[in-house]
Amino acid sequence: MSEPRIWRVAVVGCGVGRDHIVRGYQKHPDKFGVHALCEIDECRLAAVADEFSIPRRTMSFDEVLRMDDIDIVDICTPAALHFGQILGALSAGKEVVCEKPLVGTLAEIDRVIAAERETAGRAMPIFQYRFGNGVQKAKRIIDLGIAGKPYVATVETAWKRAAKYYETPWRGRRETECGGVLLMHAIHNHDLMQWLMGSASSVFARTATRVNPIEVEDCAVASLVMQSGALASLAATLGSQREISRLRLCFEQVTFESSHAPYSPGDDPWEIVPVSPEAEARIAGALAGYRAVSARYEGQFAAYHAALTTGAALPVTLADARSSLELATALYHSATTGLPVTLPIAADHPAYNGWLPPKP
């Protein structure tokens, strides 16, 4: 049997990009090798490249695109740069990994989806919290129809960000961060909720900036009707002294509650409470052959390698990112207009080309 291919990666941006190396690629030396690093901050570039003995270092994204031996361009730059960099990497024939939020408008993601259809490579958005054994088991139970009719979800993202976080100049600014707590932080938990409960069909949201003196929101609440008819409530803040992420999903046959760990909401233990001994037996049957996944980046990158190698669907797709950005668009538009917003959001919707409210 031939050895599995080791894919050659260039990481662009050394903030969370360093985490991709430590928690993702380095966990899989038989699957990935990081051969180039791109970063416009020369000190950061040298420090991270030296730390991991990465031979090629550059401050030029275009130079990365010209590296013929690089298979995967992993984009970990500030959000507003993602769109141009994804298009550039796809058109250079590369496979693409890109951090959340994938891009800054629905119009942009539709252009990325169109570009992916025309190029050899594919683009995988990062939603690493899907790779946790608690949420994976819940997903399996729901997909097998054991949970039954969804009733209500409550989702809390209560995190803390203070002045130091906003010393990084692109953060907290509309043009460069593209959104606040809804887009940058709660996006993970909202993705998990929609992954498990299906898409929203109507939303009403309120946002406020109360924690830090920034241009984007740092508090938000929303009331959702899902396509299934289930209801969901979202609450997000960056002003919680004890940080938690919490999803509680009530279905007819099963109630699920995540752990409260803020930065590993998908990981075990999830509380899975069946309505009856019969439901409990069906859950036990469903989980009998369950194979544990590795957590977060390690798990997403393992699944990514399998998809690259076999040509199967990527473990997180552009459709997933679109769904998350469509929810964000609806939430922002509702908060701006003070009105409920119905999904889907089509190209003639006023928020299709941008969700941020007009500048005050």
Ligand X SMILES: NC(=O)c1ccc[n+]([C@@H]2O[C@H](COP(=O)([O-])OP(=O)(O)OC[C@H]3O[C@@H](n4cnc5c(N)ncnc54)[C@H](O)[C@@H]3O)[C@@H](O)[C@H]2O)c1
Q: Give contact residues for ligand X (rule: CB under 6 A).
A: 12-16, 38-41, 44, 61, 76-79, 81, 99-100, 126, 128, 168, 184
Calpha distance 105→101 (Å, rounded):
10
Say if CB 79 and CB 178 are below 8 A apart.
Answer: yes
Three-state DSSP state, 300: helix
Instruction: Name the nearest CA neighbour of 71 among 316, 296, 313, 305.
Output: 305
- The smaller minimum CB distance to ligand X, of residues 46 and 275, is found at 46
Nearer to ligand X, 137 or 296 (CB): 296
* Environment class of 118 (CB within 10 Å of its CB; exposed 0-12, middle 13-18, buried 19+): exposed
Q: Which residue is nearest to ligand X (CB)?
A: 15
Q: Is 232 helix (H, G, I), strand (E, B) or coil?
A: strand
- In the complex, least distance from residue 186 CB atom to ligand X, rounded to whole angstroms: 12
Query: In terms of CB distance, is 115 or 184 closer to ligand X?
Result: 184
Cβ distance to ligand X smaller for residue 61 or 301: 61
Q: Closer to ligand X by CB, 38 or 302: give it.
A: 38
Q: Which helix (H) or strand (E) holds 159?
A: strand 150-160
Shortest spacing between CB 258 and ligand X, in angstroms: 16
State the nearest-atom distance from the C-beta of 184 to ligand X, in Å.
5
What are the residues whose beta carbons fall under 8 Å from the beta carbon of 301, sequence distance 6 or more?
Answer: 20, 24, 25, 27, 28, 31, 32
CB of 280 to ligand X, least distance (A): 34
Listed in sequence order, the residues at least 6 apart from 343 whose beta carbon sits closer than 8 Å to its beta carbon are 199, 200, 201, 202, 203, 326, 327, 330
Shortest Å, Cβ 60 to ligand X: 8
E strand residue ranges, 163-291: 200-208, 219-226, 231-237, 239-251, 254-257, 271-274
Smallest gap from Cβ 269 to ligand X, in A, equals 21
Closest to 156 in 3D by CA, of 176, 181, 119: 181
- Residue 267 and residue 170: Cα distance in Å, rounded? 30
Nearer to ligand X by C-beta: 79 or 331? Answer: 79
Supply 57's token pair: 């270092």
Min dist. Cβ of residue 1 to ligand X (A): 34
Nearer to ligand X, 181 or 196 (CB): 181
- The least distance separating ligand X from the CB of residue 17, rounded to whole angstroms, comes to 6
